[in-house]
Structure 1
Amino acid sequence: MINDFHPPGLWHVWHDGGCVLIPLFLLAVFIGYHVSEMLIYFARTDCKDAENIKWNEWIKRPDQAKGEAGQIIRYSQAGEKSAWAVRERFLAVRSARLPRLNQRIVMLGVAVTAAPLLGLLGTVLGMLETFEAIGETSGNTLGRMSHGISEALITTEVGLIIAVTGFFGLYFVRRQRNRFREFLYHLENLTLQHCQQS
């Protein structure tokens, strides 16, 4: 008997999950796309794990600085090099980059939080179908009951899977955002030290 068990295929699960699986699928694609895009953005910036020696060299010779860090260094040293001017330029850099990242993180948080709620909606719809089948006296009651229970369980499971993986993605995105913010403050301090020594 145990050898006769075959796990259901993807189409079978999709069919038994009901109509709520469509918005759950779209939500999963949305979360996956935005988490991937933000992690790729942070991976492409050379604003992490660089040595202070490298940054100090770039601050002394901004024309040799590369990548996004180089753009920030060149912008921070353009024009007047007083401490006030450097602080204002770094404030402008933080104001240009961090709020957009924060908005996307909030949007991702809302999407991740919506996943188990959509799963719960599928549970309610599946249980309604189950109770409707219990109330009927026709011959196919057991088939409708099992379909309703399947819909209730599958959507809950899918919603929780999306939420758990989304929370992990959101955690890594927040961590990278915090590292980027710390990088900007650290680079500002190094630039201010350079300006005071000049």
Structure 2
Amino acid sequence: MTTDDYNLKAQTDSFRQTNTLILTRDLVKFVVSPSDLNEYTDLLPHKNISVYQVKSYFDTESIRKYLFPEDRMIVEWVPYRLLSSNLALLDKKNTVCVSDVKVDDEIVSGLLSIGTYYKASRPGYVYCLDLYGTDMSSVRDHLLSHLGCIAKMLDDIVYVLVFVDNRCEKEKLSYVSAELGLVNWIDSHFKSTLQSLFESKL
């Protein structure tokens, strides 16, 4: 697992000869102040689901291919294979799962979003928001749902990292975030805009 500004060796031919690129996701960063969080306390457009409900997505081929086309999921920088036994590793009090995934006439739509948080090395918290799926029509409700959860759980500045499939309309996410008044997080020490997962060929 790496980002575009961290492990520069991952961009070299020698690294690519011994490692296979599994997936790449875009990374969008926001910062939310405690005063801003007060606005989202009562905003929960989607109900949370249990991480164990994700198993039904693993078991339904059309949904599985839509959400996890590379047969991997990444939560808080950790890659997982799509095994039901791995869901227990995600069953933590700091994990928030939101979904509006549905199948209509064999067409899968909606998003699955999984958020987790941890104490930052600087004052505040980091909230990793992993989005699965390419239909961004409900991304606003997903953001609001997670912001509502953040407002209930945390009382400090929060750095929100949103990871999205690079095949989706990232512009939609940018438009919605601007509409909600979210401020882009610009950090000279963390310029990453891509997250990549490699696996060794050896």
Q: Would you tell me which structure has more helix in proportion to its own residues?
A: 1
- Fold-level match, TM-score > 0.5? no
TM-score of the superposition, structure 2-length normalised? Answer: 0.20
TM-score of the superposition, structure 1-length normalised? Answer: 0.20
Q: Would you tell me which structure has more strand in proportion to its own residues?
A: 2
Greater Rg over alpha carbons, structure = 1
